[in-house]
Amino acid sequence: MSEQVFLITSETKTYPWGKTGLASLVAQLASIPDCDVDENLTYAELWMGTHPAAPSRVHGSGKLLSEHLAANPQLLGEPVINRFGLKDGNLPFLFKVLSFDKALPIQIHPNKTLAEHIHANRPDRYSDPNHKPEMALALSQFHVLCGFLPGFQILTYLSSVPEFAAMFSQDLIDNLSSAVQQKDAGRQKGALRELWSTLLKADKAVVEQNLTALVGRYRSAKVSPEEEKVKSLLLRVHDMHPGDHGVFCAFMMNYYVLKEGHALSVAVGEPHAYISGDIIECMATSDNTIAAAFSPEEDKDIDNFLAGVQVSPALGKTLIQPTMFTPGSTHTNGTLVFNPGINELAVMQVIVAKSHIEGHRPRRGPSIAIVTDGEGTIVWADGSKRLHVKRGQVVFIGQGTAVKFSAGESPFHLYRAFVEVALN
């Protein structure tokens, strides 16, 4: 019989947009348990889960976490296994830490139908047939583009930014204007899709010509009040990805600056690009990303992006309001639950004050927790078992396990991703 709570090891991913060496939170967290950091590498992601692209292992034995869970299915629980059709000890969620100072690709994640299609046709590029709704929780100031702006706001930019308007025919602009004036939501979606398609398929020389003119104007002259709101963002992403058609997306997408402890959800098909920050990320177990901008040409997949993108304006709808976790707690009010409305996952932020204890009732599903600051003790089995953990360590907690997080002479911070199946 396996222990209900145990340490696991995780893998890092290096991408060009990650922060370099120990400037990266990913490298900091990974280096504490068992990773030698190369100061020349850009550490972008820390993966915690069972996805084969970077699977976690049981600390000490080195056994794949998925193999261990397959041999001990009680750690997952039959309700979770049946609800998500899990096989071979796989978890329904993938938990990550991201650290980046360059914009990630403008991308979408597919729904299950599109995921199955692209995986069948390009398994070398799309490694699994699963959908990938996700959430992101800021660990530092987090800049992100996510979802479409309302049509009327895009029209404002088309009127005030001639270099942006030059990317489209007057007929396309008039079509959007008419749909907005008539408050025709269906026509607005169609018009936005046409604008998006035109921009992503635009001739590279035309894109560069208009971007050069726009960037030159922004750096040398005053701009309209409408443009002032987006000027610094546009110049910033242009410096990161000069000449990329995605720079114009600053006039079409919501721009959020989230403070530490704030979170947003990203639905399947919702266009987004993380720009800078350190975040906790949790998603349905998948690595499917369909890129359209801010990436090398060979990585862009415009046709499948357009096939899967959802163009409904989403101003403010993606932000997650956390709730206080109280059942089974010792009432220190140190746990917030961020529930993005995704069946496979939710995330807890746990902050245990000095010399305090935070208790969690048994959950009807497995969870993974990472310590991001301080150190403390996890206690379970009615207090008979305990595990001391510190910054950077990752722990698996089996379903049905009541745990207490105990801090010593300093605060103890961790994030806990979990899945839970409701009782019938």
Tell me if domain 1-10+56-88+321-423 and domain 103-318 are identical in fold: no
**Residues making up the binding site for Zn(2+):** 107, 109, 134, 272
User: Mean pLDDT across the stretch 394-400?
Assistant: 98
Domain ranges, ordered by start, for the chain: 1-10+56-88+321-423, 103-318
Residue 229: pLDDT band by 50, 70, 90 thresholds?
Answer: confident
Residue 278, amino acid = D
**Residues making up the binding site:** 107, 109, 134, 272
Under CATH, to which class is 103-318 assigned?
mainly alpha
User: Mean pLDDT across the stretch 253-267?
Assistant: 96
Q: What is the pLDDT of residue 329?
A: 47
* CA dist., res. 161 & res. 154, Å (int): 10
pTM for the full model? Answer: 0.95
- Residue listed under structure tokens 């722990």: 395
pLDDT digits (tens, 9 = 90+) for 347-375: 999 999 999 999 999 999 999 999 999 99
* CA dist., res. 76 & res. 400, Å (int): 9
Q: What is the pLDDT of residue 312?
A: 80
Options 1.10.3720.10, 3.40.50.10490, 2.60.120.10, 3.30.465.10; CATH of 1-10+56-88+321-423: 2.60.120.10
pLDDT digits (tens, 9 = 90+) for 129-186: 999 999 999 999 999 999 999 999 999 999 999 999 999 999 999 999 999 999 998 9
- Residue listed under structure tokens 């602009």: 173
Burial status of residue 2 (CB atoms within 10 A of its CB: 0-12, 13-18, 19 or more): middle
